[in-house]
Chains A and B, each alone.
Chain A
């Protein structure tokens, strides 16, 4: 079975440019998560969707970051304008719906390694 698919795997761009990261969750999963990982801060949750609706975006660092989920099989994380401190590995994860009971494990993609010069 196909897992969570992220693209691109690597992105190198200059500061000020717009960056769009893409994620295709596992078919049938209806919760989707975006995380960022750096050496300094570890793995941080940015935003979390249930049934394509953003539930909690309190982890989004600032207005330069935005995330959308137009349908159940696709999500984007956009940074505009990008800055060098946004350099990190960005992971997408999906799970069956996280309802009142938290017994649905997340399944992660292999991430996008982003470098802003």
Chain B
């Protein structure tokens, strides 16, 4: 079973920041928080990951709370092409444990 909880769907207006929450209250100290997204009929696409500190790349920002029990993925200026299912998952390496994708959040960007 997935160790993360996400809202099933969210809407966001085009051009606004999309903030996608993820709860992972049972996270272990060595587990990274990963975000992927899947656009219809394509393979999942890696977005960003982090351990403790906030991270930013050309696609998004990842904010992890100090207790690491939740995180937020931020798409700063959402476009219609950001409409997708966004998955939050935890992984600590070493084996297949944790390589579980939950149901994700279906983000719909409204024009």
Contacts and interface: CB of A to CB of B under 8 A. Distances in A.
Interface of A: 4, 33, 42-43, 45, 48, 55-56, 58-59, 91, 93, 98-111
Interface stretch (B15-23, B29-37, B60-68, B73-81): B29-37
Contacts of B103: 42
Given A102-B30, A102-B32, A105-B49, A45 B100 contact: yes
Shortest beta-carbon contacts, A-B, top 9? A102-B93, A108-B43, A56-B96, A43-B101, A102-B91, A105-B46, A102-B92, A45-B99, A108-B44
A45 B30 contact: no
B51 interface: yes
Contacts, number: 63
Contacts of A110: 42-43
Contacts of B94: 98-100, 102
Contacts of A59: 96
Interface of B: 30-32, 34, 36, 42-46, 49, 51, 87, 91-96, 98-103
A1 to B, nearest CB: 14
B98 A55 contact: no
A48 B99 contact: yes
A101 B101 contact: no
Contacts of B42: 110-111
A108 B49 CA distance: 16
